[in-house]
Amino acid sequence: MRVLLSRADACNRWQAATPGSRAVASGPAVFVVWSHLDHSNASILPPSAWKAEAKEGLLLPRKLPSFPSFETHLWKPPAMNLMASSRASCSKEQQKIYQQWFAVADKDRDGRITGNDALKFFAMSKLSRPELKQVWAIADSKRQGFLDLLDFISAMQLVALAQAGYEITPDVLSHADLENLKLPVMEGLDALLAKSKRSEKKSDRLDASPQHLLPASAGWFNSKASKKVPLSSVTSIIDGLKKLYIEKLKPLEVAYQFNEFVSPLLTNSDFDAKPMVMLLGQYSTGKTTFIKHLLQSSYPGAHIGPEPTTDRFVVVTSGPDERSIPGNTIAVQAHMPYHGLTAFGTGFLSKFECSQMPHPLLEHINFIDTPGVLSGEKQRTQRSYDFTGVTSWFAAKCDLILLLFDPYKLDISDEFKRVIGSLHGHDDKIRVVLNKADQVDTQQLMRVYGALLWSLGKVLNTPEVMRVYIGSFNDKPVNEAASGPIGKELFVREQDDLLSDLKDIPKKACDRRINEFVKRARAAKIHAYIISHLKKEMPSMMGKAKAQQRLIDNLEDEFVKVQKEFHLPPGDFPDVEHFREVLNGYNIDKFEKLKHKLIQAVDDMLAYDIPELLNRFRNPYD
């Protein structure tokens, strides 16, 4: 069993193993061997283990960090330790072999290995069921219910480590020398490979067909046919949600104009989009600097300064080169989930852009940089678009929302209060960051923290205390003269917690999709109840105009009637003022009556279909 060294011990040992002032040791073996020369450290690994470890270098990262630089700069976030990056650590020969193995394991040739395929293929490793359960749980880090090629390679590397006697832990791949790791032993695989080669020509013809390479769900949103797809045919949780949306939820939304009142209809890209993190705050609270700090580089089009510099919404995402794409271009690209932003008009799209750059972190997460919230009438009158409406749209799509404050901007103006209010219904996504905390001393920081919680308590209507991360998220050394050693240690721990939150986002992305889907289904049901109730209250012949105005004026009372009639929780109802504003543009008499068949379809989906889908794509070794 490995025992982790303290940071101080690790720093001392690394410096001792590093000749002169160089930041790179002679090799992993030198560092491991030196670490065991001290008799007091003999309990870490037995001689047989550490000699083998020094020889193979399996439990050491290929590029160890420079500990002195950590002491100089408060915090340099490590690269996201995501399983998908492990393929790059394989040799080209191993990549080719793993691709052949993947083709054998993928029986239905859909580019995904699901439970049944995995049970048969991984059984050839002769590992125990608990070990294979752990292998699957780590490889399927995003909880999608299947393994793609990159996940499969990670799983094979985990199998190889398990066969070599290593304990399978979530971080074992980050410490292993994957370049020199041997292939796992899979009994009976050679026979399957030989059988596969005999049908290679037929397989090549299938692979050459573009339609074959597309997932089955690619044409569901564009197809005009009403042919239903059996739930048993889907190959992932996300594909199952797409199918359920098209067949059961979308008809209800269309019938009662849910897309006009609450949220636009979903598209294929909405389900396949990467997780997003949105940063909100008043101007010059460090939103752009925060993103730059995480990426360890500036993104194209970033502007940083004490004045309101970011004047547009910027999506920071991965791309082959560094460039900025205008908002009108992004909104019409089918593979990007921003088509719904066209509802805010050209005034917004001219203040919206996508910033692309190659970065490993951006392969898994997109960041939304936002303009600073202004004070007074400038926020409402001088912006050519609905700022709170846009933030509400992004809040529904994002996986995490960071509200940034600094010690000198704790007041929450009426404009910022409206922006925070637009996040209603997404309280579980909100995290508060007290940035630039090293600009005040420890006593002042305590007062600032209390004042911030007091201000938030007046805006966020929740009985729980909001989680507040304290730190200084920039590339400058921490101001120890102000914060002192206690403050510095606090910042390190707080920033580690926030980094952990960010690293968990890709792992929880699939769970978040399910959560948002169920939330949307319930909102669509309530919307249908409201619309059909208003339709029922309209007279059949005379006085329709007066009746409609009366219903709109007394909308709160109508909401209460719907709540009591259908036994619905009041917290699930939409905002009355927004609903009234949209309702003014419609003729209530043209609405649909309550269609029980559509409601029943959504009820069945929530009660039976979604649980069945989750059960089908759970860990196959559970």
Q: Which of 17, 44, 72 is the endpoint of a domain? A: 72
Are 471 and 335 contained in the same domain?
Answer: yes
Instruction: Give pLDDT, residue 527.
Output: 95
Are 510 and 448 contained in the same domain?
Answer: yes
SS3 247: helix
Q: Which of 207, 223, 250 is the endpoint of a domain? A: 207
- 250: closest CA among 570, 605, 507? 605
Structural domain boundaries, residue 21: 7-72
* Integer angstrom CA distances of residue 176 from 165, 167, 331, 384: 13, 12, 42, 53
Are 420 and 456 contained in the same domain?
Answer: yes
Instruction: Give pLDDT, residue 88.
Output: 45
**10 Å Cβ neighbour count for 452?**
19
Distance CA 245, CA 307 (A): 45
Give the start-end residues of each E strand in 348-425: 352-357, 366-369, 400-405
Rounded to two decimals, the pTM is 0.74
- What is the DSSP secondary structure assignment for residue 221, as one 8-state letter? T
C-alpha 248, offset from chain centre: 26
Are 366 and 449 contained in the same domain?
Answer: yes
Residue 500 in any domain: the answer is yes
Are 521 and 511 contained in the same domain?
Answer: no
Are 498 and 527 contained in the same domain?
Answer: no
Are 149 and 286 contained in the same domain?
Answer: no
- 75: closest CA among 404, 504, 465, 502? 502
C-alpha 173, offset from chain centre: 21
Structurally, the chain folds into a number of domains equal to 4
Cβ-contact 598, 251 below 8 angstroms: yes
Residues 6+ apart with CB under 8 A from 342: 331, 332, 349
Residue 234 in any domain: the answer is no
Phi, psi of 80 (to 5 degrees): -60, 125
Q: Which of 72, 95, 111 is the endpoint of a domain? A: 72
Are 297 and 422 contained in the same domain?
Answer: yes
Residue 423 in any domain: the answer is yes
Are 278 and 362 contained in the same domain?
Answer: yes
Q: What is the DSSP string of 272-324?
A: HPPPEEEEEEBTTSSHHHHHHHHHTSPPTT----SS----SEEEEEE-SS-EE
Instruction: Give pLDDT, residue 7.
Output: 47
Residue 241 in any domain: the answer is no
Residue 232 in any domain: the answer is no
Report the CATH number that the domain containing residue 193 is assigned in CATH: 1.10.238.10
Are 441 and 324 contained in the same domain?
Answer: yes
Residue 235 in any domain: the answer is no
Instruction: Give pLDDT, residue 218.
Output: 56
Residue 541 in any domain: the answer is yes
Report the CATH number that the domain containing residue 536 is assigned in CATH: 1.10.268.20
Are 610 and 492 contained in the same domain?
Answer: no
Are 409 and 537 contained in the same domain?
Answer: no
Which stretches in the chain have pLDDT values below 50? 1-8, 11-12, 14-88, 206, 208-214, 223, 225-226
- What is the DSSP secondary structure assignment for residue 389, as one 8-state letter? H
Report the CATH number that the domain containing residue 331 is assigned in CATH: 3.40.50.300
Distance CA 375, CA 413 (A): 7
Residue 258 in any domain: the answer is no
- 367: closest CA among 439, 298, 316? 316
